[in-house]
């Protein structure tokens, strides 16, 4: 860009929007020039004022069209993502958008096409790619330490289910929760998923059944490079956020265990005890959130590809839709069965 500072507008002042804002405030190469939220009011104004963010508005279009905005972070609800991406792309603004882009693959593809046409950058909020543990596993795969990948295993369990009102609009466990793992599967394997088979059940709370959803699921995958894989999800691991991966290959295996708040081990007559893993995504992926926006800023300043782009969004959504179809139909589903057009990646990954 010929500049060393990117001017940012943040759309959506919910929890994740504010986290990104606070992270960017510490980034010497970012400047937050405004924040928009449908429910912006005195509270948000006070919050913005204490951080020196000059503009607060209820109108995201206003923020997008501000000439001193170089890039926007879309942190609003999922149903707003596609129109906001298209609007920002047309305005020539770089875009960071939380996952998923939409529940409708055709719309997601349309948004990505708009981005490609406009020649702006689009980074998707698959924050786990920026995690210290998973990046290290990926390095070990890429440098050949473990040889050709044969088996990919991902465990991803939340400490407690979301509220019922969220479950209703979440898009279901595959689109809302396992989509992170589908992206991780592509990231770790360095290959594309070709077929999935999904099993699920309602074992935690009947509310999931009321919305045609499940709370416990296992999905197996075949990859283009011949590897096979499996993801397991639970909406409620009472011992906390369980985030582990393993890539097994011809020369060995690379596995990441959970992170813990401390290493203290207590030995008593009752046995040996440790504290539970870091509680949930805000604690667990704290540094990953810092990294993902920092690298988004870097990619803009140096005009390099983003680490996770529109193609990655489309592929993860496509896998999620295939998983949903698989569970509904009780049979494996090929990704080619999921309607949608092919799109090329801007990145070298996976």
Contacts of 270 (CB under 8 A, 6+ apart): none
Q: Which is nearer to a second copy, 233 or 315 (CB)?
A: 233
Q: Which is nearer to a second copy, 90 or 253 (CB)?
A: 253
Number of residues that bind a second copy (CB under 8 A): 71
**Closest distance of CB 198 from a second copy, Å:** 9
Question: Does 226 interact with a second copy (rule: CB under 8 A)?
Answer: yes
Phi/psi of residue 96, nearest 5 degrees:
-110, 125
**Closest distance of CB 84 from a second copy, Å:** 30
Question: Does 201 interact with a second copy (rule: CB under 8 A)?
Answer: yes
Among 262, 302, 303, 342, binds a second copy (CB under 8 A): 262
- Interface mask (CB under 8 A) for a second copy, residues 53-82, using x and -? ------------------------------
Contacts of 229 (CB under 8 A, 6+ apart): 151, 152, 153, 154, 185, 189, 193, 220, 221, 222, 223
Burial class (CB within 10 angstroms; exposed 0-12, middle 13-18, buried 19+) of 263: exposed
Residues in the chain: 350
Contacts of 242 (CB under 8 A, 6+ apart): 155, 156, 157, 234, 258, 277
Which H or E run contains 187?
Answer: helix 179-189
Contact region for a second copy (CB under 8 A) — 40-48, 58-66, 152-160, 337-345? 152-160
Question: Does 234 interact with a second copy (rule: CB under 8 A)?
Answer: yes
Question: Does 229 interact with a second copy (rule: CB under 8 A)?
Answer: yes
Q: Which is nearer to a second copy, 84 or 231 (CB)?
A: 231
Show the tokens assigned to 179.
Answer: 């989509």
Among 39, 206, 271, 302, binds a second copy (CB under 8 A): 271
Q: Which is nearer to a second copy, 40 or 204 (CB)?
A: 204
Question: Does 133 interact with a second copy (rule: CB under 8 A)?
Answer: yes
**Closest distance of CB 149 from a second copy, Å:** 9
129, 308 in Cβ contact below 8 A? yes
Alpha carbon separation from 251 to 186, 248, 294 (Å, rounded): 20, 8, 34
Of residues 2-41, which lie at the interface with a second copy (CB under 8 A)? 26, 28
Among 57, 90, 116, 199, binds a second copy (CB under 8 A): 199
Hey, how many other C-beta atoms are within 10 angstroms of the C-beta on 331? 10
- Interface mask (CB under 8 A) for a second copy, residues 324-343, using x and -? ------xxx-----------
**Closest distance of CB 6 from a second copy, Å:** 16
Question: Does 232 interact with a second copy (rule: CB under 8 A)?
Answer: yes
291, 154 in Cβ contact below 8 A? no
Q: Which is nearer to a second copy, 13 or 97 (CB)?
A: 13
Which H or E run contains 242?
Answer: strand 242-249
Among 20, 93, 94, 157, binds a second copy (CB under 8 A): 157
In 15-144, the DSSP E strands lie at 30-36, 55-57, 71-74, 94-97, 122-124
Show the tokens assigned to 7.
Answer: 């001017």
Among 67, 268, 302, 344, binds a second copy (CB under 8 A): 268
**Cα(295)–Cα(6) distance, integer angstroms:** 12
Among 98, 158, 183, 242, binds a second copy (CB under 8 A): 242
């Amino acid at each position: 860009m010929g500049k060393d500072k990117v001017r940012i507008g943040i759309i959506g002042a919910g929890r994740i929007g504010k986290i990104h804002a606070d992270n960017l405030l510490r980034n010497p190469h970012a400047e937050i020039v405004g924040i928009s939220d449908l429910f912006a009011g005195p509270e948000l104004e006070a919050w913005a004022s204490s951080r020196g963010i000059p503009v607060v508005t209820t109108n995201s279009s206003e923020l997008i069209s501000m000439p001193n905005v170089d890039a926007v972070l879309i942190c609003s609800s999922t149903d707003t993502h596609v129109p906001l991406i298209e609007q920002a792309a047309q305005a020539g603004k770089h875009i960071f958008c939380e996952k998923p882009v939409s529940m409708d693959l055709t719309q997601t593809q349309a948004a990505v096409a708009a981005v490609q046409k406009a020649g702006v950058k689009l980074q998707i909020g698959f924050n786990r790619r920026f995690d210290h543990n998973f990046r290290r596993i990926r390095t070990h795969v890429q440098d050949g330490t473990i040889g050709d990948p044969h088996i990919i295993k991902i465990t991803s369990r939340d400490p407690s289910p979301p509220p019922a009102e969220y479950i209703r609009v979440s898009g279901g466990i595959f689109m809302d929760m396992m989509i992170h793992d589908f992206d991780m599967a592509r990231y770790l394997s360095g290959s594309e998923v070709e077929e999935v088979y999904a099993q699920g059940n309602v074992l935690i709370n009947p509310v999931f059944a009321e919305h045609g959803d499940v709370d416990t699921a296992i999905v197996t995958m075949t990859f283009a490079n011949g590897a096979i894989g499996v993801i397991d999800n639970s909406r409620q691991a009472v011992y906390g956020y369980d985030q582990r991966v393993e890539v097994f290959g011809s020369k060995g295996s690379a596995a990441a265990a959970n992170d813990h708040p401390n290493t203290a081990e207590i030995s008593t007559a009752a046995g040996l005890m440790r504290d539970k893993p870091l509680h949930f995504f805000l604690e667990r992926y704290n540094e990953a959130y810092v990294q993902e926006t920092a690298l988004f800023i870097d990619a803009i300043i140096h005009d390099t590809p983003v680490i996770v782009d529109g193609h990655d969004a489309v592929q993860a959504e496509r896998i999620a839709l295939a998983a949903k179809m698989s569970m509904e139909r009780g049979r494996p589903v090929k990704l080619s069965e999921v309607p949608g057009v092919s799109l090329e990646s801007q990145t070298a990954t996976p």
